[in-house]
Amino acid sequence: MSKQNDSKEIALGASIRSLRIEKGLKIVDVAKATGLTSSLISQVERNILAPSIYTLKKIASALDTPLGSFFADSKETAPNQVNNSPVAPSNKPSPVVHINERKMLSPGKGVTFYLLNPDLSGPIEFIYNIYEPGSNTGLQQYSHPGSECGLVLKGELLVTIEDESYLLKEGDSITFESNRPHSKSNLGKEPCLCVWANNPPWF
């Protein structure tokens, strides 16, 4: 694992622990609220275990906080790209998110999400996804309010909605109601790059 990934996971575990303590909760309290084991939560906080989206969402719900709050201060430039904008900075919030300004959301090992919106205050959440070979959103399906649409830019992604699976390849897109239990995985031999929109935002 790279030092870059190490720092991401350390920040995630520390963020979860800080929010839990801030709310006056013990690990056992979060375990009871989520149905997860105290051992699992402890391992997530100590960065021994890389949690799936399913696990993180349950922890976020127990802490009564948006999932995105675990990554609120995380930023990273996407590989091999820089911001060459000639426009001078303004004091007003910009509607543009340059590649080196994207907030990085990393819900699990091998899965990296970059927020393409300036923040999560609007009606739509727009995410750039990178799924490394063999990665997935978790063994268990998850669900959330709203609807979503995804487009595969490179590679392939297996999207499972309840008991139906769809293999998306480059150029394929999919739309479905997010309250239907679903999961995503990359069974291919190369990274899958895709963009995903959620309405309303659920991170």
Q: CA-CA distance, 29 to 198, in Å (whole number)?
A: 30
Contacts of residue 89, Cβ cutoff 8 Å, sequence gap at least 6: none
Q: CA-CA distance, 154 to 133, in Å (whole number)?
A: 12
Mean pLDDT of the chain: 85
- pLDDT confidence band for 4 (50 / 70 / 90): very low
Domains of the chain by start residue, with CATH: 3-71 (1.10.260.40), 110-199 (2.60.120.10)
CB 165 within 8 A of CB 138: no
Contacts of residue 175, Cβ cutoff 8 Å, sequence gap at least 6: 147, 148, 149, 150
Query: Strand order of the sheet with strand 103-108?
Result: 103-108, 111-115, 125-131, 192-199, 147-154, 173-177
Model confidence pLDDT, tens digit, residues 99-153: 999 888 776 778 999 999 998 888 999 999 999 999 999 888 988 889 999 999 9
The pLDDT value given to residue 54: 80
CA 180 to chain centre: 18
CB 61 within 8 A of CB 36: no
> How many of the other CB atoms lie within 10 Å of CB of 41?
26
Specify which residues 104 forms β-bridges with. 114
Q: CA-CA distance, 70 to 10, in Å (whole number)?
A: 11
Pick the more confident residue, 29 or 74.
Answer: 29
Q: What SS3 state is found at 77?
A: coil
Q: Averaged over 21-35, what is the pLDDT? A: 93
Provide the whole-model pTM: 0.74
The pLDDT value given to residue 132: 96
